[in-house]
Each structure stands twice: as C-alpha cells, then as structure tokens.
Amino acid sequence: MKSILDDIRNSIDIIDNKILDLVNKRFELIKKIGLLKFKYNIILYDKNREKKIIKNKILNNINNNISNNFIYNLFKIFFFESYKIQLKIINNKKSIKSNKNIVIIGGTGKIGKIFFNILDKKGYNVFSINSKNWDCFNINKADLIIISVPISKFKFIFDKVITICKEDCILVDVLSNKSCNIKYAKEKYNGPILSIHPMFGPKINNFIKKKILYINIKFKDKYIWFIDLLKEVGFILYEIDSVVEHDNYMKYIQSLRYLFFLLYSNILLKSNLNINKIIKYSPFNNEILIYLFFNFCSQNIDLYLEIINSNFCNNFDIINNLINDLMFLKLNININNKNLINKYSFLDNLNNLSYIKKINNNVNKLFNLFSILK
C-alpha cells in the first residue's frame, strides 16, 4: 500500500515541478511585458484583460476536476504576482529626466513619501518640504505642488503657498475631508487645482490596484498628465463629481468605520479577553475584521480623530441615528423580539437585490482567495 502511495506522490511531484517550470517561463514573459509597458508608458493594471482571461479560462474548462473558483483564485494570484514583477522593473528603471519641478509639502510624512518616490522614479525634479525647511525658492519655481498636511493645517499652508508659487502652478491636495477647505482654496486661487484622496494607508508595500479618488476643481487640461501618470504606475482612479459628494460618501466609508473601530477597541480592551485567543477562535472572515482593527490601532490616532471630527462636528445625524438604534436594541433585546424583527426586516429584502447578490458573490471569492494566501 505504501509503495503504491509513494509512486502516486512521486508522479505528483514530477507534475508539480513541470508546473513550476511553466510558471517561471510565464513570469519571464511577464518581465518582457513590463519592459514594454515602461518604454511606451502603458498603464500597468488592465482590468478588462484580467476579466477576459479569467472568463476564457473558465469557458475552456472542460475538466470536471477543476472548479471555476479554483481557476479564478489561481489566475488572481498570477495577476497579482505579475503586477509586482512589472512594478519592480518600472521602479528599477528611472524615466528620462523631466523639466517639470514638483514640490511636496509634507513630503517627509508617510503619504508624502509615497508620492515623492513615484515622481522621483518617473524622472521629475522633486523637492520635499516641511515646516522646518520651508523652501520659498523651490515653491516659486514649482510646476506642481502637492499639499500633504493635516486637515487643520491646510488653510494656513495653502495661504503661504499661493503668495509664493507661480500663477499657473498646479495645486494638489490629498485631504480626506474636503468641502470647507476646497471651497476656500477655489475662492482664493485662480490657478489649476486638483483634489485627490488616496484610499490606502501609509503602510502599503506597493500601489498595484490601490484606489485614488479625484475631483476636478479648476483647469483639468493643465493637470491631466498627472492623472495619467498615476494610472500608469498601477493606481485605479475614480472621478467624483464634487467635493460635497466625496464628503457624503466618506462619512460612511471612512468616518463611521473609524468610529466603530474606536468603540470596538474600547469594548474589547474593557473585556480583558486574550487577544490571541480571539484571533485563534475566530472564523477567517472575522480574522480580517480583527486585522483591520489592529491596523487601525497601529496608526496615528490623532489623524483618525481629526477625520471623524471634521465629518461629524457640524452634522450629528449619523451619530444620532446610531445612538437611537442602540437605544432601541437595549430596550427590545430579550423583551420583545417581534419589534426587532419588524425593525430589521429590510435586511431580508436586501438579500434579494441583484447587486447585493453580486457583492456577496465577490466577497465570498475574496474570502476564498485570502484564505488560500494566508
């Protein structure tokens, strides 16, 4: 019996080695594609090609031994590794020197450093400035200035910049809450303004498929090259119509999530439970939640509090709704379950909506993929 088992396993080992050999050959070709993308400034991430490849592989799957989910997961891993290889090639090859001068105010901060490295690799003359090395000379000759400072300091820095910079200098903010500050900037400055919001934290290892939201404030034609550049290096960019729309969505995407994490961390710490055991006993999807929680705790809490405050300081509707829901639960749990069923019956209706089914399907695929990579 053992001899038969060993023979089968040896055959599997031979096949595995052949697979590895083919994967290596695949990635050698990926390197050639990376060089061509660098040479001709082709966008790194091609979403449509990804979809087309997976669709074709699934359609061509006539072997019942291979599930469609396996094909999906396998090629998602291939794509991710391919982008990493191509990005490494692009980063190791500095572009032809550009005559554009770019200043990053707050360039020594974590987000500022990310943009500094990207622009430096692309061949631009990049200068990093902070409050300790305020550089009027480089601000004055800058073609584009990225203002990467806390929300509370933006107006003060902006006022200093516009008294020094050229009239046609492109000003870019990276604020996570925009309405008041961008309205102010639009009124005070007559030159080009672009507002972006990087939807990632400072600890990212690479920026493949990382999202950046952007709003065209003034003179889009002057800075379209910068938007194209961000796409070239692998970011996914989404245009938002207005700062008001941006801030409305960020209340729910960011501020409310940060608020939940603050509450969750407070409750968790008061429980005196063993954190390692919470992780150990949790199902995989809950592990992701705990990972997000610890990632939140490892960041600068002042930044999160500033974002929460800027979104909710003049609008307590969301917090009031949250408080009302908690009060309702407190009154009805173990007292009148029918009230709870009636109040939250809309959740059953949500599950029947086609787009919710699609989201659930995508989430399940992600959980499967993450559990494989774990």
24-64 residue pLDDT tens:
999 999 999 988 888 887 878 888 888 899 999 988 888 77
Number of neighbours of residue 289 by Cβ within 10 angstroms: 12
Residue pLDDT, tens place only, 139-163: 999 999 999 998 989 999 999 999 9
What length does the chain have?
Answer: 374
pLDDT higher than 60, residue 223: yes
Evaluate the CA torsion angle 216, 183, 130, 170 in order and state its sign: positive
Q: Is 105 helix (H, G, I), strand (E, B) or coil?
A: strand
For residue 358, the model assigns a pLDDT of: 56
pLDDT higher than 70, residue 369: no
HSE of 166, CA atoms in CB hemisphere, 13 A: 15
For residue 340, the model assigns a pLDDT of: 59
Whole-prediction pTM value? Answer: 0.78
For residue 352, the model assigns a pLDDT of: 58
pLDDT higher than 90, residue 127: yes
User: What is the mean predicted confidence (pLDDT) over 258-272?
Assistant: 81
pLDDT higher than 90, residue 68: no
Distance CA 320, CA 324 (A): 6
In sequence order, what are the beta bridge partners of 145? 103, 171
Token readout for 245 is 């729309």
Question: Maximum distance among all alpha carbons in the chain?
Answer: 84
User: What is the mean predicted confidence (pLDDT) over 212-235?
Assistant: 93
8 Å CB contact between 166 and 190: no
- Please report, rounded to a whole number, the percentage of residues in the chain having pLDDT higher than 70: 83
Token pair 């995508």 in the structure block, residue: 362
Q: How confident is the model at residue 327 (pLDDT cuts 50, 70, 90)?
A: confident
Sheet holding 101-105, edge to edge: 125-129, 101-105, 144-147, 170-173, 193-198, 211-218, 236-239
- Pairwise pLDDT comparison (364 vs 326), residue with the higher score: 326
For residue 373, the model assigns a pLDDT of: 46
User: What is the mean predicted confidence (pLDDT) over 307-322?
Assistant: 72
Distance CA 219, CA 202 (A): 29
Distance CA 128, CA 109 (A): 10
pLDDT higher than 70, residue 297: yes
User: What is the mean predicted confidence (pLDDT) over 300-314?
Assistant: 73
Q: How confident is the model at residue 365 (pLDDT cuts 50, 70, 90)?
A: low
Distance CA 89, CA 233 (A): 11
For residue 144, the model assigns a pLDDT of: 97
For residue 361, the model assigns a pLDDT of: 61
User: What is the mean predicted confidence (pLDDT) over 108-133?
Assistant: 86
The full DSSP string for 148-216 is ---GGGHHHHHHHHHTTS-TT-EEEE--SS-HHHHHHHHHH--S-EEEEEE-S-TT-S--TT-EEEEEE
Q: What is the CATH number of domain 2-92?
A: 1.20.59.10
Q: What is the CATH number of domain 101-240?
A: 3.40.50.720
Q: Which amino acid is at 143?
A: D
Question: What value does the mean pLDDT of the chain take?
Answer: 83
For residue 350, the model assigns a pLDDT of: 54
Residue pLDDT, tens place only, 161-199: 999 999 999 999 999 989 889 999 999 999 999 999 999
For residue 363, the model assigns a pLDDT of: 53
Using alpha carbons, select from 193, 155, 318 the residue that is nearest to residue 250: 318
